[in-house]
């Protein structure tokens, strides 16, 4: 099979949602349906010690939440599908944002009872900003929730996107009978084996007790209204992220998954063109190998103290043992160890193509955002990945001074992963951690203890407004004060930590020549 055919088989998407909407459960059931795993261990199965395949980290298993992005691949209907299960918790938005830079489409999971929630909206806006095609799965129809039209209206008005229901629910909660498949006019019953066929007049071809059911009559009337008055199907609008195909189902019951996958592989884009920092573009089917590192994860297997760099292949073909140049340093090296993922299970990969996500074993060479390319390809770098401006800060030190080596190694690796942001005071080099939310500090403390055998002392210094400086050479010692504390970030760039908005305004009024800026 030639390069273009292999690349056209790739479909790479991220699953996004608010916590508890069922994102990780959906990921799990997609893997189960795709034959990638034999048994799904849901995040609710704590008593049986069965945890979601994608929640490999100990803290995730204990809390039943996802706080890091996981990558998994499976085959379906002749396609190679790469799923990235993102953190639902808002404190880990930065990891999710970077992950969204590595996919070609997104699946938005919505709880039928809760509708659009804050984190869903936040992540959706990132998808719209990048023009990422979005597929919507409305989950938990086996529980009582909002009416289907209310949910569609909420999606359209809140997210400003058109909807096209590919399936339609018959009842919900205790009276949930199943879903109408719009494409082939069949009804997939929730509790029965055989599918039912609808006629052109929206009647069942064979007599069935459900015909007398009020929920069925209501669903058929709604379905007729959707067909007559709903948005038109438009493949181009799906591709630009202006229309979202909508599916109803229950991830926990593996119901509605088949309908989703069938449609997804038909309409989701193949690997897309990527921009470079110099405004160039890289086409996936170009022969030269190119990729970028969007995530680094240490200690996926604590026994081996491993460290993996997750790379999205953007063009060409990766072959194990090939030479690759790291654009940031210009250094060429042979890539001999690479893996494909099944959450915490990996296997050596000999070949991979544009659209695939692979893991490179890393001894500290790579950084998030790094570009790799064939030695004979022109020198370039992909667009920078987003970095958030933290709002919460803590001083951190090792409880046992004899463990300073472990302490600094742990900090270095977790900072490189993007788990936490690192700063230090200018004169004493006191480590200061920055985070978007409190949970990041808790995960940092937990991982330092469990993975680096180091207890830490965390001293809150409160909420601060961090601002970087364009013209660092104009900074003087007189500008450093408790209300405008000058520190260094991990790249030794100067950063002001302002006490509050008033202190920020006071500083800009007093020193108008200093040009400040923030990250995302």
Instruction: Tell me the C-alpha distance between 137 and 106, whole Å.
Output: 11
Q: In this predicted model, what pLDDT tens digit does every residue of 47-103 receive, in sequence order?
A: 334 445 444 455 444 544 444 557 788 888 899 999 987 765 566 667 778 888 899
Q: What is the DSSP letter of 382?
A: B
State the pLDDT at residue 39: 47
- The SS3 assignment for 231 reads coil
- Identify the helix (H) or strand (E) that includes residue 8: helix 3-8
Instruction: Return the minimum-mean-pLDDT range out of 42-51, 118-127, 433-442.
Output: 42-51
Q: Is 86 annotated as a binding residue?
A: yes
Distances, alpha carbon 265 to alpha carbons 14, 75, 315, 458, in Å: 14, 11, 20, 47
Q: Is 484 annotated as a binding residue?
A: no
Where are the chain's structural domains? 11-268, 275-373, 392-517
Answer for the pair 370, 382: CB distance below 8 angstroms, yes or no: no
Q: Is 88 annotated as a binding residue?
A: yes
CATH architecture of 275-373: 3-Layer(aba) Sandwich (3.40)
> What are the structure tokens assigned to 189, written together?
């019953």
Q: Sort strands 162-165 and 243-248 into parallel, antiparallel or unpaired.
A: parallel
Q: Is 29 annotated as a binding residue?
A: no
Q: Residue 44 pLDDT > 50, yes or no?
A: no
Q: Is 308 annotated as a binding residue?
A: no
State the pLDDT at residue 51: 46
Q: Is 87 annotated as a binding residue?
A: yes
Instruction: Tell me the C-alpha distance between 22 and 471, whole Å.
Output: 46
Q: Is 22 annotated as a binding residue?
A: yes
Q: Is 85 annotated as a binding residue?
A: yes
Instruction: Tell me the C-alpha distance between 118 and 311, whole Å.
Output: 29
Q: In this predicted model, what pLDDT tens digit does every residue of 444-493 receive, in sequence order?
A: 998 899 888 999 999 999 899 999 999 999 999 899 999 999 999 999 99
**For the chain, how big is the Rg over CA atoms in Å?**
25
Find, among 493, 494, 313, 510, the residue nearest to 485 by Cα: 494
State the pLDDT at residue 91: 61
Q: Is 89 annotated as a binding residue?
A: yes
State the pLDDT at residue 335: 92
Give the pTM.
Answer: 0.82
Q: Is 400 annotated as a binding residue?
A: no
Q: How far is CA 425 from the centre of its chain?
A: 33
Mean pLDDT over each residue of the chain, to the nearest integer = 85
Answer for the pair 372, 288: CB distance below 8 angstroms, yes or no: no
Q: Where are the beta strands (DSSP E) in 77-154?
A: 79-85, 105-111, 134-139
Most trustworthy range by pLDDT among 243-252, 330-339, 382-391 = 243-252
Q: Is 158 annotated as a binding residue?
A: no
User: Could you tell me the sign of the dihedral formed by the alpha carbons of 232, 238, 240, 241, in that order?
Assistant: positive
Q: Residue 34 pLDDT > 90, yes or no?
A: no
pLDDT category, 1, cuts 50, 70, 90? Answer: low
Q: Is-same-fold flag (11-268; 392-517)?
A: no
Tell me the longest C-alpha to C-alpha distance in the chain: 86
Count other C-beta atoms under 10 Å from residue 439's C-beta. 18
Q: Is 140 annotated as a binding residue?
A: yes
Distances, alpha carbon 196 to alpha carbons 193, 209, 377, 497, in Å: 10, 12, 55, 63
- The SS3 assignment for 34 reads coil
Most trustworthy range by pLDDT among 54-58, 400-404, 496-500 = 496-500
Close Cβ partners of 36 (under 8 Å, ≥ 6 residues apart): 72, 73, 74, 75, 342
Measured in degrees and rounded to the nearest 5, phi and psi for residue 55 equal -95, 80
Q: In this predicted model, what pLDDT tens digit does every residue of 307-326 receive, in sequence order?
A: 888 999 999 999 999 999 99
Top-tier CATH class for 392-517: alpha beta
Best CATH choice for the domain 11-268 from the list 3.40.50.300, 3.40.50.150, 3.40.50.620, 2.60.120.260: 3.40.50.300
Q: Is 113 annotated as a binding residue?
A: no
Please measure the distance between the N-terminal and C-terminal CA atoms of the chain and give it in whole angstroms: 42
């Amino acid at each position: 099979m030639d390069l273009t055919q292999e690349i056209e088989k790739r479909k790479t998407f991220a699953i996004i949602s608010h916590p508890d909407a069922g994102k990780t459960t959906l990921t799990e059931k997609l893997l189960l349906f795709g034959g990638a795993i034999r048994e799904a261990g849901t995040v609710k199965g704590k008593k049986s010690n069965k945890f979601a395949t994608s929640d490999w980290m100990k803290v995730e298993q204990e809390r039943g939440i996802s706080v890091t992005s996981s990558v998994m691949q499976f085959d379906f209907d002749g396609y190679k599908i790469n799923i990235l299960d993102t953190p639902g918790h808002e404190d880990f938005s930065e990891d999710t944002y970077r992950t969204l830079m590595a996919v070609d489409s997104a699946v938005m999971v919505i709880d039928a009872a809760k509708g659009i929630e804050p984190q869903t909206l936040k992540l959706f806006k990132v998808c719209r900003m990048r023009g990422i095609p979005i597929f919507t799965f409305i989950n938990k129809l086996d529980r009582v929730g909002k009416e289907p039209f209310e949910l569609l209206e909420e999606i359209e008005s809140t997210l400003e996107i058109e909807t096209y229901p590919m399936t339609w629910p018959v009842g919900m909660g205790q009276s949930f009978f199943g879903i109408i498949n719009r494409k082939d006019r069949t009804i997939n019953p929730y509790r029965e084996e055989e599918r039912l066929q609808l006629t052109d007049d929206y009647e069942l071809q064979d007599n069935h007790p459900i015909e007398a059911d009020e929920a069925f009559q209501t669903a058929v009337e709604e379905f007729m209204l959707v067909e007559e008055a709903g948005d038109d199907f438009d493949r181009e609008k799906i591709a630009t992220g202006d229309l979202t195909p909508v599916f109803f189902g229950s991830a926990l019951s593996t119901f509605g998954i088949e309908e989703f996958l069938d449609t997804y592989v038909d309409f989701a884009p193949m690997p897309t063109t990527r921009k470079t920092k110099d405004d160039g573009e890289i086409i996936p089917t170009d022969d030269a190998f190119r990729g970028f590192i969007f995530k680094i994860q240490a200690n996926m297997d604590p026994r081996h103290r491993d460290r993996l760099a997750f790379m999205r292949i953007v063009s060409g073909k990766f072959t194990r043992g090939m030479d690759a140049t790291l654009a940031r340093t210009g250094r060429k090296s042979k890539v001999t160890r690479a893996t494909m993922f099944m959450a915490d299970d990996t296997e050596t990969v000999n070949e991979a193509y544009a659209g695939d996500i692979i893991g490179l074993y890393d001894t500290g060479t790579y950084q998030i955002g790094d570009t790799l390319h064939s030695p004979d390809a022109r020198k370039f770098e992909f667009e920078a990945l987003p970095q958030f401006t933290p709002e919460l800060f803590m001083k951190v030190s090792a409880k046992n001074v004899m463990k300073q080596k472990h302490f600094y190694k742990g900090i270095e690796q977790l900072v490189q992963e993007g788990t936490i942001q690192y700063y230090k005071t200018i004169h004493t080099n006191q480590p200061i951690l920055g985070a978007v939310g409190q949970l990041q500090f808790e995960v940092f403390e937990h991982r330092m203890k469990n993975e680096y055998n180091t207890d830490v002392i965390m001293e809150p210094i409160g909420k601060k407004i961090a601002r970087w400086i364009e013209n660092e050479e104009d900074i003087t010692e007189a500008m450093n004060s408790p209300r405008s504390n000058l520190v260094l970030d991990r790249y030794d760039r100067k950063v002001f930590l302002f006490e509050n908005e008033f202190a920020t305004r006071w500083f800009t009024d007093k020193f108008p020549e200093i040009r400040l800026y923030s990250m995302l």
